[in-house]
Amino acid sequence: MLKRSGIPPYPQFYELLYTYATGVNPTLNNRINSIFRAGDSPSLSLAEALYNEFLKSDVNDRISNVSERMHARIEAVHDAIDTAMTTANSYSGSLQAASGDLGREITAEAMKQLAERLLSETRRMQDTNQALEIQLEASRDDIASLQRDLDDVRRESMLDPLTKIANRKSFDEGLATAIAEASKGSSPLCLLLLDIDHFKNFNDTYGHQTGDQVLRLVAMTLKSNIKGKDLAARYGGEEFVAILPSTDIEGAMIAAENIRKAIQAKELLKRSTNEKLGRITASFGVAAFRPSDTGATLIERADRCLYAAKHAGRNRVISEIDLAAIQAA
């Protein structure tokens, strides 16, 4: 896509189109799709503008920005309400004074002046109420926009910034939810834990930028090989994890094997030199949920299976069933 659009392959533009390709930011995808539909020609300045808008600022900056906008909007509403209350109190005082005047005999001229004064106060009250209505209407639209921004920020806060899949926080919440649902019913639940083989050596040999690309590649491969309710996440470092609801141990083993093969099938190429860097592999541990499980115990069993896969020579899948057979032997 970079080549077709004539956009330089700088890291930030790769990240922009990588994020678009993964579909993890629906707002960005809608914007880019609308540009394509409009027939606009991609340009360096357009790519920079999209990157600055969607990816450059971090989550804390965006939260701060939303907070400031929310504070300004609330202050504006408070000011409008204070003005309306002051006008309403003044109008109430005018009505009480007019009531007292009407209780006495007054001349026709005095009655005319009283009516004009009340009419003027009434118009002022109407103007103030109209201004308040306009302010509240604008606030409603702004607050709806702020809510969308907060939703976007929350989604981003649940993503790993490098790989753009779920982060550890999102995984912890997802696992707790999956366990709660599995505990209620009889549907199975499995956990898949994977670790990139010899990643440190690869990182040290070819550099951190290439290592980061490997992490992104594994993340995308993992995400593209799981189904709807499943959750792929970066567990930490070169470890990844997938929560597989409604999947039994046999199905989880098949899924893990498919992911293992998909990762191994990708040959790495250093584009700057066309140097072939070989293939990467990963080891997998698979554990099934038990009624007595907590998140920690389920992760611990998957980790033991992963350790066994590493110990057995790497680039393989070992489940609890396999581990039991190995220990029995």
**pLDDT on residue 274:** 74
Position 314 confidence tier, pLDDT thresholds 50, 70, 90: very high
On whether residue 256 sits in a domain, the answer given is yes
Round the average pLDDT of the chain to a whole number and report it.
84
The larger pLDDT score, comparing residue 192 to residue 102, is at: 192
On whether residue 42 sits in a domain, the answer given is yes
Asked if 79 and 44 sit in the same domain, the reply is: no
**pLDDT on residue 69:** 73
Give the whole-number percent of the chain exceeding pLDDT 90. Answer: 35
For the segment 272-288, the average pLDDT, to the nearest whole number, is 87
Residue 311 predicted with pLDDT over 90: yes
Cβ distance 288 to 188 under 8 Å?
yes
pLDDT tens-digit readout, 108-156: 887 788 788 888 888 888 888 888 788 777 777 777 777 776 666 667 7
**pLDDT on residue 61:** 65
244: helix, coil or strand? Answer: strand
CA pair distance 112, 99, nearest whole angstrom: 14
On whether residue 200 sits in a domain, the answer given is yes
Asked if 321 and 185 sit in the same domain, the reply is: yes
Residue 171 predicted with pLDDT over 80: yes
Residue 211 predicted with pLDDT over 60: yes
Range of the domain at 48: 2-56
**pLDDT on residue 143:** 72
Give the whole-number percent of the chain exceeding pLDDT 70. Answer: 92
Look at strands 239-245 and 267-270 and give their pairing: unpaired
65: helix, coil or strand? Answer: helix
Closest C-alpha to 11, from 46, 48, 65, 40? 48
CA pair distance 157, 210, nearest whole angstrom: 25
Residues with Cβ within 8 Å of residue 146, at least 6 apart in sequence: 66, 69, 70, 73
For the segment 70-91, the average pLDDT, to the nearest whole number, is 78
Position 57 confidence tier, pLDDT thresholds 50, 70, 90: low
Most confident of 25-34, 41-50, 319-328: 319-328
Q: What total of structural domains would you count in the chain?
A: 3
Asked if 130 and 30 sit in the same domain, the reply is: no
Position 293 confidence tier, pLDDT thresholds 50, 70, 90: very high
Residue 82 predicted with pLDDT over 60: yes
Asked if 260 and 214 sit in the same domain, the reply is: yes
Residue with tokens 């970066």: 234
Asked if 151 and 236 sit in the same domain, the reply is: no
**DSSP per-residue codes, 264-306:** HTPEEEETTTTEEEEE--EEEEEEE--TT--HHHHHHHHHHHH
Asked if 309 and 257 sit in the same domain, the reply is: yes
Asked if 151 and 191 sit in the same domain, the reply is: no
Residue 315 predicted with pLDDT over 60: yes
Position 290 confidence tier, pLDDT thresholds 50, 70, 90: very high
Asked if 264 and 318 sit in the same domain, the reply is: yes
Asked if 209 and 282 sit in the same domain, the reply is: yes
For the segment 186-211, the average pLDDT, to the nearest whole number, is 89
Residue with tokens 């995984």: 171
For the segment 313-325, the average pLDDT, to the nearest whole number, is 92
Q: Which of 99-113, 119-133, 288-302 has the lowest mean pLDDT?
A: 99-113
**Residue 40 burial (C-beta neighbours within 10 Å; 0-12, 13-18, 19+):** exposed
How would you label 130-143 residue by residue, b for 16+ Cβ within 10 Å and e otherwise? eebeebeeebeebe
Asked if 264 and 305 sit in the same domain, the reply is: yes
Q: Write the CA distances from 190 to 158, 202, 291, integer angstroms.
A: 21, 30, 12
On whether residue 301 sits in a domain, the answer given is yes
On whether residue 206 sits in a domain, the answer given is yes
Position 304 confidence tier, pLDDT thresholds 50, 70, 90: very high
Q: Could you say which of 137, 157, 177 is where a domain stops?
A: 157
238 annotated active-site: yes
Q: Could you say which of 100, 134, 157 is where a domain stops?
A: 157
Q: Could you say which of 20, 36, 56 is where a domain stops?
A: 56
On whether residue 163 sits in a domain, the answer given is no
Q: Which of 78-87, 177-186, 258-267 has the lowest mean pLDDT?
A: 78-87
Asked if 213 and 305 sit in the same domain, the reply is: yes
On whether residue 162 sits in a domain, the answer given is no
Asked if 119 and 104 sit in the same domain, the reply is: yes
Residue 242 predicted with pLDDT over 90: yes
CATH code at position 187: 3.30.70.270
Spot the catalytic one: 15, 121, 156, 238. Answer: 238
Residue 175 predicted with pLDDT over 60: yes
